Amino acid sequence: MKRSAGVVAACALLVLAAAQVVDASVLPSLGVADREVVPMGPVTSGGEPGETWGYRQYPLDLQVPVFGGQRLLFGSAGSNPTQQLVFLRATDSDGWQVAQTPRDESGNPYRGPEPNSRSARITPKGGGVLVGRDAVRPAGSRTVVLARNPSGLFRVLPAPPTTILLGANDPTAGLPAEAVAGDEGSGTVAVAAVDTGSTTTVYLAPTGRALTTGIIAHDGSNGAGAWRREPITLGGSETTLVVAGLSGASADTIYASAASTGNPVRLFKRNGGGTPSWEEVPLPSTPWTDPAAATAAGLSGLGLLAGKAQSITATADGAWLDLTAQKAGKRVDATIFVRPASAAGQPATVTSWCDLDLCDHPLGASFSTTDGYRSYAWAGSSFGTRVISNPLRPGAQADSNQGTYLVLDGDEFVRRAGGGGNFIAGASFSSPEKGWIGSQTEVGAGERPRRLARWPVAARAPFLAVVGEPGTARGSLDAGALAVGADGVVARYLPGKGWRREFLLSSSGAVVRQGLRGVAWPEADRAHAVGDNGAMWQWRRDSGLWERDPAAPIGFEGNLMGVAFDPSDPQRGYAVGKGGLILSYDKTWTPMAVPAGFGDANFTSVAFAGRQAIAVSDKGVLFNDGGTWRTDQQLVDLVTTLIRPAGLVAVAGLGDGAAVIGGQGVVLVRESAGGAWRFSSQPLMSQTVLAVAPIREGGSVRAVVSVIPQLQWPTPDTPVEEDPNSPVPLYPAYTVPGDGYLLRETSAGWRDEQRTSFASSGSDRPLKSDPVMALALQDDGDGWAVGGWSGTSDSVGRGASGSGARTTREKVRTAGIYRYGAGGAPAGSTGEREAPIPLAPGPARFIVGGHPMCAGPCAELDNQELAPDRTVSLALTRAAELAGRENGPRAFLSTGGRINPEAGIDGDPAEERRHARLLEPRPGLPVFSATSEGDVGSGGAQAYSASFAGFPAPFGSASAPGISSAGIPGATPTSGARTHYAFDSEGAGGKVRVVFIDNSAGSLAASDPHQNPSEAQEPWLIAVLDDASSKGIPTIVVGSRDLNSGVSPRLNGATDADRVAKLLVEHGASAYFHDRPEENRAATIPAGESVTIPQFSTGALGYRSPYEDSASIGQPDALFGAPGFLIAEIDATKRDPATNRAPVAVRLIPVIEDLSLQAVDGNLLRRSRPSLFEGLGRRPVAGDRWGRAGSDGIPSPAGSSPYAEFPAAPCQIAGCSTRITPEFTFSSSAPDVLDFVKQDPASTNLRKPLLGADDKVISDGGSGLVCPFNA
């Protein structure tokens, strides 16, 4: 007898199923622009909202873009083509678009020079300038200045006449010729651009001579006198002056920074009255403006920043100069604001920022002179405002930026979180709240779009294909659907019920885990799935099962990538794959001949557009109208217009014959059957399209695509030498891509539908969205997006692609099924019954959790949804919900553990402020915390104390209902949060005293020097415990360090563990809680003693250990690390008056976002044959911890499992008795038909039930073993 697992009501699991909506103002953005696009600056007067310009050298393998309905004009490519320089424009409404190409001196389309990033400028009205080096031009004439008047094109300015840019020996013999820029355009350049009416005036400081005597300018006109030279007023004896930078706030306010022998910091301002000239601005004597004062202050090597630095930034009120010097042999950077003397007689002032005591204000940063940075400033009260991109940590390397930017707030430079990543020099800001960091991080972007809603599914391998039910609107919520993928995962959508797992079954009924790549559903009673290593499967409604396709060729071992059927003829279908493989279906699958040149083609996709089949491969595209396969000459001709033809990957069609093809950077569109193919108007630079779906919008066919940025896919096979005497080698199946971000084509370009592609800055990797691998969308664009992560390496260093990394990949894999809608999408129900967490009357309850630790500095990654941040935030939200219920917990007790003591940032103020924001009390839930090792810097715990000062008393100074420290012994604290404290908590279940100790430095005594209040902790602790005993109040104690000296591995142990543990026992403590990295354990203290109290170790609100059975290497073990928090229950009614100890128990509540029940042995249940089921709880979707990959291609550390399993994985190593496992319950809707039963603990066979005294199985809601009964 066969029984369906559907009669099991999945499970009633005590879970957290909450989704976090992030209102982020800084978001990544994929689309037309890639990382190589360099922002030039914003248009702030008369342009479109959010208008910004940038440039890039255009890839040779992409189409000529269309902007504003017009195809752009490219310069002649010649026989050895160079990349075309293009200018891009971004607006709030349209995002980035390739908008312009330059013109040469004659007005003809121009290929363009190689740009000099130091020269890029945009004026408020949209004028601009860019200097570069054109290697095609003759030596000595390679410097090119491109300039643009507002609303015009970038054009090459004519070379300045020799009366303006002086030639050799002019005016004195022996003088070298002046140049616009060093190294014929690619070196040092000082340039500014300002609006002058309807034109743009460009100012350039000549280079090449020791003494610069003038600044040259082009007024934006086409006349013979467009160039002019404006003298620099110098003393008669001066022999050296080098202009380092120019900057203009307006046509009336332009400054030049300069240096000369003996005077390394000088400032000049343009005087535009009468005959324009450049006059020196006298600078008051300071260590940053006067060499003598610098020497007196211990500075040497004073000067303006060089390299790629932007040494000067002008405002209407003055100028910012960026400087550097040496102090005691170490580089120190500074910035100063110079306010010139006013006409009213107000003297000039200089205000300085650096990280030395001799400056007026701290800077907290170094400038990047190697990669460069951009600076924008605006006049206003005090010093106005300013933004600096790519700031480095003081004295640190170029990889210390983490995507941040500096903003001047009052008189303080504040580091703000960006989009992650390092080495991003370019930026464009119209204000501190609006701009771009690079071209893929937008500041002021608002809330992240919510166009994808996750639907839980009982799988943990990625889905790679999806198809709608035949005869219905594809992607409709009212129609069925099928999705298949890696490891043989199959899921079926049942309207109104959600997605349900199905399984590939062998003839014996065993589950087969063969990778699937394509699925087709040609008629209601039949479906096909194909995939790796000869995988060909068929589902028939009459059996309801997936079985091997009887029509498959005998002995077939090919790797198939897709399958599709004629929507009008369910007996006509095609399957395609690697090695020139195309199979035709007509009740049997038969190999087909392919045109010449396609015999070794690797086909990656097949689809029907109307009744025409289209197959895409690395060799091109084939079409079939019911006979043989052929090419389409119009498409061939179109693709060959590319200088380097792009690889094509995916195809999808509509019933009327419209189709879309996607590949490496390009999307091809056909509006109807027989229509002409065209490229999308805008490209997808440095992105490969993995999946496509055509939609109709405004009468036009547009594409929704999934892309992988930066990385190429598929990866070409390694050639194998063929032996004519041996069979042709079978190349392996393609790896599954590691990324897949969803983009939608618009009338203007492309829109990022997710905005989650953060760059990476270190081991704390950003949010990892489930890659989208396949789409099934309705004509209006709503529908299904399926995918998941394969664990393969992605574009920011997550995952592993080495041949020996299979175990690593399998551990981190995910499955994802999403509902997509441009206007928002409905979330799916889990389909599982989620029981409320029981809170029976009796005990007093507290939530205990901790260790949301980052691997390195992460305060400036607060918008990237790192796992510690997401997990602790969701835990607090859920804890607050519990606190609002009857008999709920009274407070959240954090064991600390936020700052990694190995990261070198102990006590960092920014990290402490972020820690406090994460633990901010929720309504009705006061939060208290222990001090940890990373909270104490060289100067003590001041930053920690200041950051938590506003928390509830007695920890901080705020009040909290039911919390009192009245009458409890202790000294009076200074300002700020306490590092040790105690309070009494009143509520249902009686009064309980909570004591926080500080053993962060390793012991109580070692931690005493930084205490607030200043007192020795041990006598204070004894007094507090004895006071509680005298009043009959049971007490629990919370600290950072482990007080069990016998636990293995020894993690975060206290050096005074036995001494303090004995003290707690002797003075009546009921239990001790502490922070244990990435584990939850229960033990007793003191170790080895006969009289003990329970110790509960918790630290699972951050990353999960990637290791299992790790005691031998001294690392946390994933077997003990189910993510979650503890509910501590103190039964005060059972307090022992003789010892003052009360029973304390804990329950581990997992922090997960959704829940599904997976039939491990498949859903074909046979009578009296036990089967395993597993609850899958998806941990908060977030970033994870990934180290650098070694020579074997495996990162260390590797990421961890994104799921929590119920029941927990079997534990058969030392210490298993200390493991705290998550609380959950399984139940059956028909326990008389099948039920969850107890496993035999004495057997290693997980499918062996335990029989009771009556020789019958024993019901057990805590077991995943299911027994189908005979009756």
Q: What are the Cα distances from residue 347, in Å, to 282, 283, 284, 339, 378?
A: 10, 10, 9, 9, 21
Task: Report the 3 state secondary structure along 917-946.
Answer: HHCCCECCECEEECCCHHHCECCECHHHHH
pLDDT of 962 over the 70 cut: yes
Residue 915 — very low, low, confident or very high, per pLDDT cuts 50/70/90? very high
Cα–Cα nearest to 780, from 679, 862, 723, 704: 704
Q: What is the pLDDT of residue 833?
A: 60
Residue pair 441/96 in contact by the 8 Å Cβ criterion: no
Mean pLDDT across the chain, nearest whole number?
94
Q: Which helix (H) or strand (E) holds 1176?
A: strand 1171-1178
DSSP 3-state of 1062: helix
pLDDT surpasses 90 at 1271? no
Per-residue model confidence (pLDDT) at position 16: 38
Of the chain, the percentage scoring pLDDT greater than 90 comes to 89
Average of pLDDT values for 231-248?
A: 96
Measured distance CA(286)–CA(283) in Å, rounded: 8
Beta partners for residue 591, in sequence order = 583
CA 690 from centroid of its chain's CA atoms: 20
Give residue 828's pLDDT.
76
Banded pLDDT at 725 (limits 50, 70, 90): confident
- What distance in Å separates the CA atoms of residue 654 and residue 473, rounded to the nearest whole number? 11
The 8-class DSSP code of residue 534 comes to G
pLDDT in tens, 366-424: 999 999 999 999 999 999 999 999 999 998 899 999 999 999 999 999 999 999 999 99
Q: Which two tokens stand for residue 1047?
A: 């636990």
pLDDT band, residue 901 (cuts 50/70/90):
very high
In order of 525, 1175, 1206, 1258, 1268, the CA distances from 1171 in angstroms are: 28, 14, 15, 15, 8
Helix (H, G, I), strand (E, B) or coil at 440: coil
Band (18; pLDDT cuts 50, 70, 90): very low
Closest alpha carbon to 602 in 551, 558, 646? 558
Identify the band that residue 802 occupies on the pLDDT scale cut at 50, 70 and 90.
Answer: confident
CB 828 within 8 Å of CB 456: yes
For residue 10, pLDDT beyond 90: no
Q: Look at residues 838, 655, 684 and name the one whose alpha carbon lies nearest to residue 746.
A: 684
From the list 703, 782, 771, 697, the residue with the least C-alpha distance to 479 is 782
On the question of pLDDT at 20 being above 80, the answer is: no
Quick one: pLDDT at residue 24?
40
**Mean pLDDT in residue range 1065-1079:** 99
- Residue among 999, 1104, 1010, 1007 nearest 1042 (CA): 999
Q: What is the pLDDT of residue 1114?
A: 85
Q: 7 pLDDT exceeds 60?
A: no
pLDDT in tens, 634-667: 999 999 999 888 899 999 999 999 999 999 999 9
- 266, 228, 218, 261: which is closest to 244 by C-alpha? 266
Q: Which of 486, 503, 1202, 517 is nearest to 790 (CA)?
A: 486
Residue 315 has pLDDT above 70, yes or no: yes
> Is the per-residue pLDDT at 252 higher than 80?
yes
Question: What does the pLDDT average to over 712-734?
Answer: 82
What is the crossing angle of helices 1057-1066 and 1017-1031, to 10°?
20
Rounded to an integer, what distance in angstroms lies between the CA atom of residue 404 and that of residue 899?
Answer: 19
1139-1164: buried (b, 16+ CB within 10 Å) or exposed (e) per residue? bbbbbbebbbbbbbbbbbbbbebbbb
Q: Which residues pair with 482 in a beta bridge?
A: 467, 492
pLDDT tier for residue 585 given thresholds of 50, 70 and 90: very high
Helices 909-918 and 867-883 pack at an angle, to 10 degrees, of 40
In this predicted structure, the answer to whether residue 146 has a pLDDT above a threshold of 80 is: yes
What was the pLDDT predicted at 1110? 63
Please compute, for residue 747, the number of CA atoms within 13 A of its CA located in the half-sphere on the CB side: 7
The β-bridge relationship of strands 1093-1098 and 1080-1085 is antiparallel
- The whole-number pLDDT of residue 13 equals 41
Inform me whether the pLDDT recorded for 526 exceeds 90: yes
Which burial class, exposed, middle or buried, applies to 1239 when counting CB atoms under 10 A from its CB (0-12, 13-18, 19+)? buried
DSSP calls for 829-865:
P-SS--PPPP--SSSEEEEEE-----SS--GGGTTS-
The pLDDT of 560-584, averaged and rounded, is: 98
CA distance 712 to 734: 12
Question: What does the alpha-carbon distance between residue 518 and residue 562 come to, in Å, rounded to a whole number?
Answer: 4
Beta bridge partners of 941: none
φ/ψ of residue 5, rounded to 5? -70, -5
Q: Are strands 1093-1098 and 1069-1075 parallel, antiparallel or unpaired?
A: parallel
The pLDDT score that the predictor gives to residue 22 is 33
Compute how many other C-beta atoms are within 10 angstroms of the C-beta atom of residue 820.
25
C-alpha dihedral (654, 660, 663, 666), degrees to nearest 10: -160
**Closest C-alpha to 1182, from 1158, 1199, 1206:** 1199
Mean pLDDT of 66-70: 97
**pLDDT given at position 1190:** 87
Q: Residue 768: which residues within 8 A CB-CB, separation 6 or more?
A: 789, 794, 798, 1181, 1182, 1183, 1184
pLDDT in tens, 1183-1228: 999 999 888 888 999 999 999 999 999 888 889 999 999 999 998 8
Q: Say how far apart CA 457 and CA 484 lie, in whole Å.
A: 12
Give the strand pairing for 385-389 and 405-409.
antiparallel
Residue 613 has pLDDT above 80, yes or no: yes
N- to C-terminal Cα distance for the chain? 11
pLDDT for residue 912 is more than 90: yes
Q: What are the tens digits of pLDDT across the range 158-194?
A: 999 999 999 999 999 999 999 999 999 999 999 999 9
Separation CA 913–CA 1124 (nearest Å): 23
Asked if residues 1212 and 1246 have their Cβ atoms less than 8 Å apart, the reply is no
**Residues 475/468, Cβ–Cβ less than 8 Å:** yes
Q: Supply the pLDDT for residue 832.
A: 60
Sorting pLDDT into bands at 50, 70 and 90, what band is 5? very low
Mean pLDDT of 1236-1259: 92
Q: What is the pLDDT of residue 224?
A: 84
